[in-house]
Amino acid sequence: MDVSPPIFRQAVDALQAVQPRSELQLVDIDPPRRLAPHSFALGVELAEDYVDQTGPADAEVDVTGRLVLLHDPEARDAWAGTFRMVCYLRAPLDVEQADDPMLLAVGWSWLTDALETCRAGYAALGGTVTRTCSARFGDIPGPTRADDVELRASWTPTDEEFGRHAEAFYRLVTHAIGLPEVGVSLMTERNN
């Protein structure tokens, strides 16, 4: 039996009503249980058929995104409200992106631009953007170098339009992995 308050169930329904682009697929993840009395989480990753169409069979495309909704009917001062959105994103970078000195600021703008474009009202926004680099040595299969960007953020919704926050999250993920806007095609080399 669900004992969640109706306002929380409505927020979850609004988040679930928004579907990601076809290049992404939803994955089941467990919400955190200790951060708030009520929580919900959804996860996304790059769809397998999209990876099959765009990359070599041995390409490692590992994109992870999580959006968490927290609700505490006893408003928390740090939240400035009763709801809190938390997101996490990890996406691969190419070498040129990884070496860009503006990467961290640009990574943060992916989130703020997505929230603003989707008109998702927010307050008390905070987070981090991290670039990670790893190198493989010896007989370990895979690329010799891997660069990723990780974004962790949380904010307080300032309205009850939770679907807009889901839209912003999906927009953040697709932008971070370099997908063009819907209806826009990437220019490719022509064979003459």
108 belongs to a structural domain: yes
CA–CA–CA angle 126, 127, 133 (5° rounding):
165
Q: What is the pLDDT of residue 176?
A: 84
99 belongs to a structural domain: yes
- Residue, of 11 and 149, whose pLDDT is higher: 11
Other beta carbons less than 10 A from residue 165's beta carbon: 27
90 belongs to a structural domain: yes
Q: In which domain, by residue range, is 30 found?
A: 6-176
Q: Are strands 81-93 and 38-46 parallel, antiparallel or unpaired?
A: unpaired
- Copy the structure tokens of residue 147: 């660069």
**How far is 159 from 175, CA to CA, in rounded Å?**
24
Distances (CA, A) of 47 to 23, 53, 129: 5, 10, 24
Half-sphere exposure of 3 (CA within 13 A, CB side): 2
Q: What share of the chain is helix, strand, coil (3-state, %, to 5)?
A: 30, 35, 40
185 belongs to a structural domain: no
* Model pLDDT for residues 81-114, shown as the tens digit of each residue: 899 999 999 988 776 676 677 778 888 999 999 9
Res 154 pLDDT > 80: yes
19 belongs to a structural domain: yes
154 belongs to a structural domain: yes
In the structure, what pLDDT confidence band is assigned to residue 143 with cuts at 50, 70 and 90?
low
Q: Provide the number of structural domains found in the chain.
A: 1
- Cβ neighbourhood burial of 74 (10 Å; 0-12, 13-18, 19+): exposed
- Which DSSP category does 186 fall into? P
183 belongs to a structural domain: no
- Residue, of 21 and 189, whose pLDDT is higher: 21
Of 15-19, 26-30, 56-60, 87-91, least confident by mean pLDDT is 56-60
Q: What is the pLDDT of residue 123?
A: 94
* Model pLDDT for residues 48-58, shown as the tens digit of each residue: 766 545 544 44
134 belongs to a structural domain: yes
- Residue, of 184 and 151, whose pLDDT is higher: 151
Instruction: Provide the whole-model pTM.
Output: 0.82
